[in-house]
Amino acid sequence: MLNKKQWFTEIHQDSSALSFKYKKTLFEGKSPFQTVKIIETKSHGKMLINEDIVMTCERDEFIYHEMIAHVPLFTHPHPKKALIIGGGDGGTAREILKHKKIKNCDLVEIDSMVVNACKKHLKSIGSAFNDPRLKIYFEDGAAFIKNKKNHYDVIIVDSADPIGPGKVLFETPFYKNVFEALKPDGLMTAQGESPLYEQKLQKTLLKTAGKIFPLAGFYNYGNLTYPGGVWSFLFASKKYHPIKDFKAGRVKNSAFSFRYYNKDIHQAAFSQPEFTKKNLGTLWKL
């Protein structure tokens, strides 16, 4: 049995659980939106936990953040303005701002406690918070985006699960607003949950995005800290196709020091196992 004083446990659907041994709690707070905790684990570095759900940790955060950011930014041929909805740990901003073409990046995080705790305790993830191109808004992302029309090249929805404050970020009105906030050749990615555990949710999400965007589908990645390990991002685009319009040479020329992403992974991530194909069928528009 795992001692609660030494182990943090996230229970998933009352049927499986992931636990991490930890040395100490670095931060613990309760914002108007959620509980926020940062722990120092034994072997996964520092870990951000909201509402007893692992958000990110130092050991493998690079996978999530590189994949949510570079797939859209290397698909869009000339991204200048980017928006992050959520992403309070700063990891997605760090990856976006590696792209010199990006002139402005807005980050809209509903919970200032997350940003402030990460600024203090998760510095390797939030290393771009002081970049002058980044502007942080402590607002409701779903409300913020209503006032933006034809404005962004890339929008990234770096959200938690569709419960609590993140729920609206999985629904049709929000996707309509994202579509309108994008320029005529804009595109988006969003945290897309587990293809093994969340088949119904993925189907609903793809149906929602596919009704609004001409191109929509998922791409996959693996990580250590989300239930099941195999997870997805939703990709939706007005114009550019993530494989056909992808220029592998740009990845090489960027000379970024990736830890997960590369040109092969970009393309391979869109390959779907049979169970996903069967689940999503004709909703697939890539």
Token reading at 8:
């943090």
Radius of gyration of the chain (CA): 18
d(CA 9, CA 190): 26
Burial of 168 (0-12, 13-18, 19+ CB in 10 A): middle
Which one among 267, 284, 285, 286 touches its own copies, defined by CB under 8 A? 267
**Between 80 and 241, CB nearer to its own copies:** 241
By rule CB under 8 A, what count of residues binds its own copies?
A: 49
Token reading at 87:
């992403």
Mention every residue, 6+ apart, whose C-beta is less than 8 A from residue 278. Answer: none
Residue pair 215/236 in contact by the 8 Å Cβ criterion: yes
Cβ neighbours around 5 below 10 Å, total: 6
Which one among 34, 189, 202, 220 touches its own copies, defined by CB under 8 A? 220
Interface with its own copies, residue 261, by CB under 8 A: yes
Partners of 189 in the beta sheet? Answer: 156, 235
Residue pair 280/210 in contact by the 8 Å Cβ criterion: no
158 catalytic residue (yes or no): yes
x/- mask, its own copies, residues 27-56, rule CB under 8 A, reads --------------xxxx------------
Interface with its own copies, residue 168, by CB under 8 A: no
Check 89, 158, 161, 264 and give the catalytic one. Answer: 158
Interface with its own copies, residue 191, by CB under 8 A: no
x/- mask, its own copies, residues 52-71, rule CB under 8 A, reads --------x--x--------
**Catalytic residue ranges:** 158
Give the binding site for its own copies (CB under 8 A).
1-4, 7, 9, 11, 13-21, 41-44, 60, 63, 196-197, 220, 222-224, 226-230, 258-262, 264-265, 267-269, 271-275, 277
